[in-house]
Amino acid sequence: MELEEDPVSPIEAVLASVIKLNVQPSRDGSRKRHQPLTLLWAIGRAVRGEERMAEWPELKKAVAGLIRKFGKAGDAATPQYPFVALHNTRLWELSEPPPRDHHLTWLNSADPPIRGGFTRPLHDLFTRSRAAADLVVDQLLHDYFDDADEAALLGAVGLADVAAARRDFTGSLTYNAMVARRGEQAMLRRLLINGGARCALCGAELPETFLVAAHIKRRTDCEERERRDLDNVAMLACTLGCDSLYEHGYIKVSDGGLVELSPELVGHPRLHEHASRLAGRAVAAWSDSSRHYFAWHATNVFRTQARDEPRQDR
Ligand SMILES: [Zn+2]
């Protein structure tokens, strides 16, 4: 899987693949946990900086143990299924292509052992970005392990620090949302800063501490799908004024990508002074893919005044 070739961001591609995992139903009708457990185990390895490809005998033992402990009631400890099935996703690769059937025989008799693990770009992403790993862990926990002992599970895959952070909170819903939110902020900021530590609105190049990932469309108004549209739903804005001016609707980005000032600024000379240097600036974050987020902001957040009133700030 060449993550770089994707039209979406790497983390978005990973989350999409995780969400789309083709998982068999368990006896109780819920989804089996074989693949999610294998992924969690492999994320733990990546986060600890261990080797990307694991040999079948090692994975077999570890994942069988996880299935016994954290699988659905009645699930057989059959690590060969996820080991081979994940090969059909864009997340995972095997050292040799699997035969059509008799996977267990093939795996148990191969010499040297068959190895499997995350694709190179994905392993590298988890190794260098803890935020990316946490985001995927959170997605897996949310989708598959609602009624599981999360702390025990995370401890078992070597992600005990995540478990410890989780225990500090009470009320799992709030706390899950917080963890997801924190991971997302960190991820967004990192992705955006990779494109250059520059404010999207005023264009100033600044130390990273003065830049935040600002949602172009207010985050709480985004649908889940939009929240995950990491490449387009956010921009880097400076905390020296641009982030607040945009968030509170004193500036907008017009359909065409230029900064426009709110007529309301005329009542706030100091704010106006601050904002006036932004007027007419071309915003690089504006594109065919992000324009609808800017349009949402212009309609719902931007401070306008009645059409027949003269625009005194021009
Ligand atoms: Zn700025």
Q: What tens digit of pLDDT does each residue of 116-151 get? A: 999 999 999 999 888 788 888 888 887 788 788 888
| pTM score | 0.55
Q: How far is the CA of 283 from the centre of ligand 1 (A)?
A: 11
Cβ neighbours of residue 163 closer than 8 Å, sequence gap 6 or more: 150, 151, 152, 153, 154, 155
Q: How far is the CA of 127 from the centre of ligand 1 (A)?
A: 32
Please report the DSSP string for 21-81 in residue order. Answer: ----B-TTSSB--HHHHHHHHHHHHHHTT--SSEEHHHHHHHHHHHHHHHS-TT----THH
Q: How far is the CA of 117 from the centre of ligand 1 (A)?
A: 42
Q: What tens digit of pLDDT does each residue of 140-181 get? A: 887 788 788 888 999 999 988 765 555 444 334 444 555 556
User: Can you list the positions of beta strands (E) in the chain?
Assistant: 54-55, 92-94, 115-118, 211-215, 234-238, 251-253, 259-261
The pLDDT tens digits along the chain (314 residues) read 444 444 456 777 787 788 778 888 877 777 889 999 999 999 999 999 999 999 999 999 999 999 999 998 888 899 999 999 999 888 999 999 999 989 999 999 999 999 999 999 999 999 988 878 888 888 888 778 878 888 899 999 998 876 555 544 433 444 455 555 666 666 677 777 777 889 999 999 998 888 888 999 998 888 877 877 777 899 999 999 999 999 999 999 999 999 999 999 989 999 999 899 999 999 999 999 999 999 999 999 999 973 334 444 44
**Lookup: tokens for 104:** 């267990």
Instruction: Report CA dihedral (68, 71, 73, 74) to the nearest 10 degrees.
Output: -70
Q: How far is the CA of 194 from the centre of ligand 1 (A)?
A: 17
Q: How far is the CA of 252 from the centre of ligand 1 (A)?
A: 13
Q: How far is the CA of 5 from the centre of ligand 1 (A)?
A: 31
Q: How far is the CA of 237 from the centre of ligand 1 (A)?
A: 6
